[in-house]
Structure 1
Amino acid sequence: MVQVLKDSVREQIFIAAEEQFAKVGFKKATMGAIAQAAGVATGTIYKYFKTKKELFQLIITDDFVEEFSSLTRNRVAAFAQSEGLSLGQSAMTGEAGELFRFWIRNRRKVIIILARAEGSKHEKFAQKYILNMTAQTIEQARQQFPEMNITNTFRFMVNKILTESVRGIVAILDNFEDEKAICEAFAASTTYQLAGINAFIAWSQHPGRF
């Protein structure tokens, strides 16, 4: 007898797996727990997906990872402004808006890739993500402020700021599900971060004055 696979069941499993990966991480998630969350027997999952790894890679696709990275590069590039960063700019416009909307649309996936990918092929993504943003930010600072001395302290602080920013992204997406609440949290976080970044840039240009 030909086995009939249902799209609706497949979608249930996808949703349950994404929830489990975001909640406990790829390494700790089990096919049994995913099956229970999906409301199907564990054996049923294996009719649709051979392994947990296969299921994970169908959720966290290479296209998703590339789009996330590309939108982030565009967002970091937008920070290079001749008159500094404006505290009045909306967090939901321009490159920032594109990235934030991507985060909201892919809330669980972003949590997974930035904090819960241990044991998967993307377990080093967050580390590389921060290093790439750090390198891009430092290069932009060098071009925008040629008189600035890019010291080890400056490099350390840029990396620290971006590391804390990534942790903040995960915390917001982990704690809020409603789009309005997520937007409010990001707006508040962005206002706080921009004030700190502008102060840091001022210090970097004239460290002896502080």
Structure 2
Amino acid sequence: MAQYLKDEVQENIAAAALTVFARKGYESATMAEIARAARISTGNIYRYYENKDALFYAVVDEGFARSFTLLLRRRVKALDGVDDMSTLAPAAAYHLAAEELLRFCIENRLRVVILLGRAGGSRYERFAEDTVQSLIQMALDHFRCFRPHLEVTETMRFNLNQIYRSFLGTMVSALESFEEEAALREAIHGYSKYHLAGLRSFFA
């Protein structure tokens, strides 16, 4: 019974930490705020986690960050050799990979918000920007398959930075704005269609 209660308290702290970190960010969140959200004393929280760092990296660990990156890359790479998405069958690799990423984001909504938008001051501070640069490179590699002589100008790279920062920012906003799965799916599907159509037009 004692172990069960201890596990329950620890799970309660982790859930409260996710809520506070997602709302205030790593830098601004305090252990006292997390304790209040978990409805325990600040002193009690230190029985489970040595400090804010230990708690933060317990709820958003490196394995989670790697999984997100892997799923995102899998979604993008599934478009290799595809110039027109409208030709893809519902069971095409891209749609399966997109669903896998979306399901991961839905099931880990607050963790993704923290990783992409609230990680300033942590070891994930550059995660979103590094993801943007990775997406840009994958987009260039993809479109060079169809346009081998594609010239990447300074203005093109500037625009791609804005496009992909907006893409990740919109993903964070959708995850923050909608808790119901149906609404979240509709928001992300709608923006993804706009994003992919815009990219194809951009490289035309």
TM over 0.5: yes
Find 2:105's aligned residue among 103, 118, 127: 103
Find 1:173's aligned residue among 167, 172, 175: 175
CA 1:87 to 1:49, structure 2 compared with 1: closer, same or farther past 3 Å? farther
Matching of residue 74 in structure 1 with residue 74 in structure 2 = yes
CA 1:89 to 1:17, structure 2 compared with 1: closer, same or farther past 3 Å? farther
Code of the aligned partner of 1:167: G
Paired residue total: 200
CA 1:173 to 1:89, structure 2 compared with 1: closer, same or farther past 3 Å? farther
Aligned to 1:156: 158
CA shift digits 1:76-115 (9 cap, x unpaired): 112334432339876x931111111111111000000101
Distance 2:78 2:4 in 1: 50
Work out the percentage of aligned pairs sharing the same amino acid.
38
Distance 1:185 1:118 in 2: 26
Distance 1:46 1:14 in 2: 13
Code of the aligned partner of 1:35: A
Aligned to 2:138: 136
Aligned to 1:208: none
Code of the aligned partner of 1:104: I
Unpaired stretches in structure 2, ≥5 consecutive residues: none
| Structural mapping, 1:11-160, within 5 Å | 11-86=11-86, 93-160=95-162
Distance 1:147 1:77 in 2: 21
CA shift digits 1:122-170 (9 cap, x unpaired): 1111111111111122122223321333333332222221111001001
SS in 2 for 1:6: helix
Distance 2:197 2:87 in 1: 7
Residues 26 and 117, structure 1, Cα contact 8 Å, conserved in 2: yes
Residues 138 and 155, structure 1, Cα contact 8 Å, conserved in 2: no
Distance 2:4 2:45 in 1: 13
> Higher mean Cα deviation, 19-28 or 70-79?
70-79
Distance 2:116 2:23 in 1: 13
Distance 1:59 1:115 in 2: 15
Residues 113 and 172, structure 2, Cα contact 8 Å, conserved in 1: yes
CA shift digits 1:154-202 (9 cap, x unpaired): 3222222111100100110010111111001111112222221221121
Distance 1:122 1:160 in 2: 20
Code of the aligned partner of 1:19: T
Residues 87 and 194, structure 1, Cα contact 8 Å, conserved in 2: no
